[in-house]
Amino acid sequence: MIPLNQRALAALTFWAQQFPHRHPEHYVFPLEKCSQAGSKDSFGFAGNLIYDTDPMQPIGDIKEAWEGAKRRTRRHCPQCKAGILADKEKPEIGYACVECKFDVQGLPVGLLGVRFHDLRHSAVSRMIAARVP
């Protein structure tokens, strides 16, 4: 048993409602498979789309997910900011934006220098500034 206050219980109740076919043996935070950034949903919105959820498996390692997210930020076009850099077709080398066709030899820096701990620190600092207990 894990004691929860009303706020935590309400948050978990809301989260559980996102999975209408859940069972007591399912994980609270199930494993999800996502498409790559830039994929468009049926409404035309781009982003990471969840295409499969396995409630019998727990979510993967958060550090692994964070490292993958950092690697994906290197693929955003430095020119148009909306496009994704794709590998040029062989034998050419380098990358080209799928939206604006901008060419680069190497991938931009992205978020490689940002640690997961930096995000925690930023979130806590903003919560303190907003007087969140």
Look at residue 100 in the predicted model and tell me its pLDDT. Answer: 92
Q: Determine the length of the chain.
A: 133
Q: Residue 107 has which token pair?
A: 């991938």
pLDDT of residue 16: 86
User: What pLDDT sits at residue 106?
Assistant: 84
Contact 52, 36 (CB under 8 A): no
> Are 86 and 96 contacting, i.e. CB atoms less than 8 angstroms apart?
yes
3-state secondary structure of 97: strand
User: Where are the chain's structural domains?
Assistant: 8-17+27-60
Tell me the C-alpha to C-alpha distance, in Å, between residue 87 and each of 40, 76, 90, 92, 106. 20, 12, 9, 9, 10
Mean pLDDT in runs of 10 for the chain (133 residues)? 86 87 87 64 54 82 71 79 84 89 84 74 85 81
Specify the pLDDT at position 37.
52
Q: Which residues contact 52 (CB under 8 A, 6 or more apart)?
A: 32, 33
CA angle (112 as vertex; 93, 39 as ends), nearest 5: 65
pLDDT of residue 40: 54
